[in-house]
Amino acid sequence: MPADASSISLSQLLASIDELEWREATLVAELPGGPVSRSWQLDAASGPVVLRFDMPVVEALGLDRQAELAVLERVASLGIGPEVLWAAPERGLLVRRLLPGRAWQEADLSDSDNLFRLGALLRRLHSIPVVHESPDLRTSVAMYVDAIGTEKARAIGLQAEKLLAEISIESSCRVFCHRDVHCGNIIDHGELRLIDWEYAGSGDPCFELAVVAEQHQLDESQLGGILDGYAGAAYSIEISRLNQFRRLYAYIAELWSMVAH
């Protein structure tokens, strides 16, 4: 992937693709994105699609695009994620079906019915056999700290290590997790589905719920609404442990931001 990937135009990307359908697709809009990739909604012969193009930071973040394809195949077959139509991971390219519906906004987390639905979706997700054994949280923290290489990063890493020891991460149960559930990745079309599965893999179900809670600073009532929908899962959620994971996620998110930017 070229170092100046951020300056590559959509027309250049489409011209580089051999498959005629994607090469002849027309632009609808560039989608909001971040430092990891750029995405465009396109109209293709088979319908609306999304083209994603990776930025060089994907490597530093340790993202495994081959593993992601296996994850996407599974979740698409179960109706909780988008279908992949074409991919060239070695070139940082992926085309997926555009899911119908709308992405959630913060206001959706104030609706008790929505909170219950989200909890039920996560309960279902965590019941699926693990598709990809992703690195554990201790490995991810160490990788981010090494990639950044500053005193500040090492200090954050030490705080994260202390929390990991308190949580006894080695004894955690490992289930299939999305690991980046937030409003922008929740698509609502009567039923809820998730996009952006690039961090998906094995993980502690408590951490998954902590990510949602910390990303959106959910209060006790909102978290309770999600847990109501999650009730009946094979894994019990301890609030004290979930709160420890919330603190851990805050450290990991800070390190992630330092790597990505």
Instruction: Clarify whether residues 228 and 121 are in a common domain.
Output: yes
Helices 220-230 & 112-126 angle (0-180, nearest 10): 50
2-41 pLDDT, tens digit per residue, is: 446 677 899 999 998 988 888 899 999 999 888 999 999 9
Instruction: Clarify whether residues 121 and 248 are in a common domain.
Output: yes
**Radius of gyration in angstroms for the set of CA atoms belonging to the chain, rounded to a whole number:** 19
193-246 pLDDT, tens digit per residue, is: 999 999 999 999 999 999 999 999 999 999 999 999 999 988 889 999 999 999
Tell me the pairing of strands 102-103 and 93-97. unpaired
Instruction: Clarify whether residues 11 and 42 are in a common domain.
Output: yes
End position of a domain, from candidates 82, 97, 112 = 97
Instruction: Clarify whether residues 65 and 165 are in a common domain.
Output: no
End position of a domain, from candidates 63, 97, 131 = 97
- Looking at residue 165, what is its pLDDT? 92
- Looking at residue 204, what is its pLDDT? 93
- Looking at residue 144, what is its pLDDT? 97
- Looking at residue 210, what is its pLDDT? 97
Q: Work out how many domains the chain is built from and give that number.
A: 2
Instruction: Clarify whether residues 83 and 114 are in a common domain.
Output: no
Alpha helices in the chain (DSSP H): 10-15, 20-23, 57-60, 65-77, 112-126, 137-148, 151-167, 205-215, 220-230, 239-260
- Looking at residue 171, what is its pLDDT? 61
- Looking at residue 170, what is its pLDDT? 64
- Looking at residue 4, what is its pLDDT? 60
Instruction: Clarify whether residues 211 and 125 are in a common domain.
Output: yes
Strand partners, 194: 186
pLDDT exceeds cutoff 90 at 55:
yes
CATH at residue 73: 3.30.200.20
61-114 pLDDT, tens digit per residue, is: 999 999 999 999 999 999 999 999 999 999 999 999 999 999 999 999 999 999
Instruction: Clarify whether residues 127 and 89 are in a common domain.
Output: no
CATH at residue 178: 3.90.1200.10
118-159 pLDDT, tens digit per residue, is: 999 999 999 999 998 888 899 999 999 999 999 999 999 999
Q: Which residue range forms the structural domain that includes residue 24?
A: 5-97
- Looking at residue 1, what is its pLDDT? 52
- Looking at residue 26, what is its pLDDT? 95
- Looking at residue 47, what is its pLDDT? 96
Instruction: Clarify whether residues 47 and 161 are in a common domain.
Output: no
Instruction: Clarify whether residues 61 and 116 are in a common domain.
Output: no
User: Which residue type does 39 have?
Assistant: S
Taking the model in full, what pTM does it have? Answer: 0.94
